[in-house]
Amino acid sequence: MSISTLIKKYEQRADYVEVRRVESKETTIRLDNGELVTFSPSEESGYSVRILYRGGWGFASTNGELSEELFKKALKMARSLGKGKRTRVEKPSINRSFEFKQQEKLEDVDISDKLDFVKELDRWVKKLSKKVKSRQVVYLDSVVEKTVVDSFGNEVRERLPRLRVGVSVVAKQGTNMQESFEAFDRIGGYEVIKSFDWQRLGVDAVNKAVSLLQARQPPSGKFKILVDQELGGVFIHEAVGHACESDNLLFDSTIMKGLEGKRVGSRNLTVIDDPTLIPEFGAYFVDDEGVKAKKVVLIKNGVFKEYMTNLETSSKFGLKLNGHARAQSYADEPLVRMSCTYIAPGDWKFEELMEELKDGLYLKGFKGGQVDPVEGTFLFTAQMGYVVKNGEIQHLIKDVSIGGFTLELLKNIVAVGDDLEFKGGFCGKGGQRMPNTTGSPHVLINDALVGGKE
């Protein structure tokens, strides 16, 4: 039977039926110190079926052909979980195809040409500094096509190419070792390789690692801090963005519960998640439920406004459906996920922020951290920073930890710069790894708790 025939048959027994078809082609190349350790073109395809029955969601997938057996499995799971009355799902009508047009198709470029590029970048990085004792160059690309058909009569298709190049180095001087990582990524075809300064990518990675060899340990205590775009973006993604994913409401695991319409941060703070920011790495046209991507203002002038949602949370909690359901592959259920999450720019120039900082710390880059979305606590480590006195940069410091309560820090934001920048990467949740983008201008914060050694 055809997909439409199967959907019509099972929609009579359920509240909602959805079929997703995904085909993906990927290339991964990795060189460690010039040695080829990963050289992997791969292809994957499959179907998934989701069925909603009286509040219970059933899911089944296969890498084979779509069959009625898959519908039976999904319906059986849904009925085992479903309770109470029929569930009403509202979903906008959409019947169209979306595709990002590649100038030079990733799938048409020979893998040997991709390998030659990686080798050339590796040779460049190798000769930049004798202090670099270890280096890694990684190339990733993918072309993913998905089609979502549902019991509302919708049928939507999306085809997106993505490309990412990363350089990781370890510099050493005596027993002192410091590492650095830089990456560039975009939605697009192989033309992306020609659109960015890949030599600068290597230079930035090496310079950062080498300079950290001379960095001092940070001071401890409460400081006024100025954070750069990378650190600000990752913080807002981890500490705020995840708390605004509405599936946390299913488990009472977010500090944002009950704070809709209430002040959670400084009036200077506006936080947005916008999946329409193509060609940023985390963007998309439609989500994995076939809902068109929508910009969402999570926090506006310090007031919590809206969650990111999927079909389950929008129907269960009466929230607006805004196209934030994402799945890593056909075999994964769509979860509420961020896309391009960022702090909206203000009107402060960098020089003005430094003057306002006066005596404090200027922190740059992200090295690691953790967040407790239930308790609302966080601990992040900036890769590097500077002690600032009288508005002037002094000596370099490294491994600066920042901790505390998320909502307290948000209320201590003093000023926001006008220099918004984005940075791509991957985010993990529920065992699924998805492309994401974080962004921020420079942000000035009062009374931040910093850890380190005197």
- At 127, phi and psi to the nearest 5? -90, 0
Question: Are 107 and 206 found together in one domain?
Answer: yes
Q: What distance in Å separates the CA atoms of residue 352 and residue 330, rounded to the nearest whole number?
A: 49
My answer on whether 239 and 156 are in the same domain is: no
What one-letter code names the amino acid at 280? E
Per-residue pLDDT of the chain (454 residues; tens, 9 = 90+): 899 999 999 999 999 999 999 999 999 999 999 999 999 999 999 999 999 999 999 999 999 999 999 999 999 999 999 987 888 899 999 999 999 999 999 999 999 999 999 999 999 999 999 999 999 999 999 999 999 999 999 999 999 999 999 999 999 999 999 999 999 999 999 999 989 999 999 999 999 999 999 999 999 999 999 999 999 999 999 999 999 999 999 999 999 999 999 999 999 999 999 999 999 999 999 999 999 999 999 999 999 999 999 999 999 999 999 999 999 999 999 999 999 999 999 999 999 999 999 999 999 999 998 899 888 999 999 999 999 999 999 999 999 999 999 999 999 999 999 999 999 999 999 999 999 999 999 999 999 999 865 4
The confidence score (pLDDT) of residue 454 equals 43
How many domains, the chain?
A: 2
Count Cβ atoms within 10 A of the Cβ of residue 109 and give its class: 0-12 exposed, 13-18 middle, 19 or more buried: middle
- 401 and 278 share one domain: yes
**β strands within 85-220, DSSP E:** 95-99, 132-150, 155-173, 176-187
262, 144: one domain: no
| Same domain? 359 vs 396 | yes
> Is residue 52 located within the same domain as residue 154?
yes
Integer CA distances (angstroms), 280 to 111, 141, 346, 423, in order: 24, 14, 21, 8
φ, ψ for residue 7, nearest 5 deg: -65, -45
pLDDT of residue 453: 52
Query: Domain range for residue 392?
Result: 221-451
Distance CA 345, CA 240 (A): 17
Give the number of other Cβ atoms within 10 Å of residue 149's Cβ. Answer: 21
CB contact set of 29 (below 8 Å; sequence gap of 6+): 36, 38, 39, 40, 111, 114, 115, 118, 138, 139
Distance CA 97, CA 76 (A): 32
Task: Report which DSSP code applies to 286.
Answer: B
On the question of a cis peptide bond just before residue 279, with omega within 30 degrees of 0, the verdict is yes
What pLDDT score does 83 carry? 84
Pair 206, 239 in one domain: no
Domain boundary among 161, 184, 212: 212
End-of-domain residue from the set 212, 240, 267: 212
Are 414 and 280 in the same domain? yes
- Final residue of a structural domain among 212, 233, 251: 212
Burial class (CB in 10 A: 0-12, 13-18, 19+), 453: exposed
Residue 289 in contact with residue 57, Cβ under 8 Å? no
On whether both 196 and 225 belong to a single domain, the answer is no
Instruction: Read off the pTM.
Output: 0.95
Domain harbouring 150, CATH code: 3.30.2290.10
Same domain, 271 and 200: no
Shared domain check, 343 and 233: yes
367 neighbors 168 (Cβ within 8 angstroms): no
Residue 87's pLDDT is what? 84
Q: Does 284 lie in the same domain as 206?
A: no
Strand 221-227 with 360-364, pairing: parallel
